[in-house]
Amino acid sequence: MVLALRRVRGLGALVLCLSATLVGAQAPAAGNRVAADAQVAGNPFMAHQCFGCHGNNGETGTRLLQEDGTFSPRLQTIDRFIAFIRAPRPGQAPPIGSSVSMPSYGVSSLPDERAADLFAYIRTFKPTEPPLKDIPLLDRMIKEGGKLKR
């Protein structure tokens, strides 16, 4: 009887494990698949060291996301993005607000298909901080600072 009970428990555990495996193996919903594909395709972001200046989500360096959560003008379309990353940089002034110039990526180092993957990956970024108006202490400090007399 005890041996039969152990077999039933063992069989139940096996069924539970197999069920969990099968559920986990189901294809993601269409919307999730696009985001997942973009995440996987975004490897150029890491491979080309973009995170070194832009952070893991575009939050540092020359910002990829503006304060209102929209993308910078050079990220509005794939054509603008590719034109920007292909533009020659030597001898040009660094972008406003940056102390170093972003390197240029030619077709040999970043083919158009990988550039499109990178663009799709970057477009998955979301703002990581609240808008300045939504930070109560900062708002109060600005109001109080306005009352100071010189």
pLDDT above 90 as % of the chain: 3
3-state SS, residue 116: helix
Mean pLDDT of the chain, nearest integer: 68
| Cα–Cα distance for residue pair 130/135, rounded to 1 Å | 7
Tokens 């575009």 belong to: 58
Cross-strand bridge partners of residue 71 = 65
C-alpha 66/C-alpha 128 separation (Å) is 11
pLDDT in tens, 46-83: 777 888 888 877 777 666 777 777 788 878 889 988 88
Neighbours of 56 (CB within 10 A): 12
The DSSP call for residue 71 is: B
Q: What tens digit of pLDDT does each residue of 83-120 get?
A: 888 876 656 654 454 445 677 888 888 899 989 988 88
Residue 19 is encoded by which pair of tokens?
């069920």
Question: Is residue 31 within 8 Å of residue 80, measured between CB atoms?
Answer: no
In order of their start, the domains of the chain are: 30-145 (1.10.760)
Q: Label residue 21 by pLDDT band (50, 70, 90).
A: very low
Alpha-carbon torsion (105, 40, 123, 128), positive or negative? negative
Report pLDDT for 41. 52
User: How many whole angstroms separate alpha carbon 15 and alpha carbon 106?
Assistant: 53
pTM for the predicted model, two decimal places: 0.52
User: Strands (DSSP E) along 41-98, which ranges?
Assistant: none
Alpha-carbon distance of 96 to 13, in angstroms, equals: 61
Instruction: Give the per-residue pLDDT at 28.
Output: 41
Measuring CA to CA, how many Å separate 101 from each of 28, 31, 85? 39, 36, 11
